[in-house]
Amino acid sequence: MDNRISITDLKAKKKRGERIVMITCYDYPSARLLEVAGVDILFIGDTLGMTVLGYDSTIPVTMDEMLHHTKAVVRGSTNAHVLADMPFMSYQTSPEDALRNAGRLLKEGGAQSVKLEGGVCVAETVRFIVDAGIPVMGHIGLTPQSIHQLGGYKVQGKTPAAAVRLVNDALALEQAGAYAVVLECVPLELAKTITDRLAIPTIGIGAGPHCDGQVQVFHDLLGLFQGFAPKHAKRYANLGDQITAAVRDYVNDVREGSFPTEKESFLLDKAVFSEAARIA
């Protein structure tokens, strides 16, 4: 039986001053590895659209795709909290649609909570979902599903008015019952102010060191994307280069005839082979 980290555990971490570790995860083997490493929250982000499915943004990601990947992560873990993103247009149309889709991520996908983007404008939707018994994590600052409205991937809250809006967004989400809030691409001073104002945890990505926790994209962390590296990401490994080199060695071995060898082959008993040869 699963003994997963709960939202109560996560909120208690803030009270104790313990940092929360969250990372995106999209499949079974990654979930197994990340849980062994001690990650608190495995997050099936709609970033899977770009990192796994090859879309240009998160916008095309569907509920069926989110469910597919959420199920895989749940099967690969037993202790970490599993958080699933609500994709674009799964919650914007009405609170009823939002509740229905959030419920699918828990009932069909097996997640323990859901995340959606927006502040004051989605607060009532958040309250509607939470009142139905579904834990919700908020997300403010740079909200990728609104990238066309924001005019690109830019730091948010850089003017006095914008900073006040973000504080109000965070407070509205807390009052609506969100158990935590992601702060994405927010100046560190503003992120600290929000973190200090809220009783619920803040999870930063490009929001400085003062948040209650941090989240990073799996592929950025491990160097699985070639070329582009976000400013907020620290690359802990260059697995992309290692994978390419390893597969290149395999390609060369096959083409040169040096793989497989007898070591990687199955041998027939000599007596059986002789008898088979005689019959043939």
pLDDT for 41 equals: 98
Domains of the chain (ranges; CATH) run 7-237 (3.20.20.60), 243-279 (no CATH)
Question: Which positions are annotated as active-site residues?
Answer: 184
Q: Which two tokens stand for residue 46?
A: 């709609």
For residue range 38-86, list pLDDT tens digits in order: 999 999 999 999 999 999 999 999 999 999 999 999 999 999 999 999 9
For residue range 78-100, list pLDDT tens digits in order: 999 999 999 999 999 999 999 99
Q: 115-131 burial, b for 16+ CB within 10 Å, e for fewer?
A: bbbbbeebbebbbbbbe
Bridge partner list, 148: none
Is residue 86 packed enough to be buried (19+ CB in 10 Å), middle (13-18) or exposed (0-12)?
A: buried
161 vs 154: CA distance, rounded Å = 16
pLDDT for 122 equals: 97
Is residue 208 packed enough to be buried (19+ CB in 10 Å), middle (13-18) or exposed (0-12)?
A: middle
HEC sequence for 135-184: CEEEEEECCHHHHHHHCCCCCCCCCHHHHHHHHHHHHHHHHHCCCEEEEE
Contact yes or no for 21/70 (Cβ under 8 A): no
pLDDT for 140 equals: 96
pLDDT for 143 equals: 85
Task: Tell me if the pTM is above 0.85.
Answer: yes
- Number of Cβ within 10 Å of residue 14's Cβ equals 20
Which stretches of the chain drop beneath a pLDDT of 50? 1
pLDDT for 1 equals: 44
Contact yes or no for 244/229 (Cβ under 8 A): no
| Parallel/antiparallel/unpaired status of strands 136-141 and 180-184 | parallel
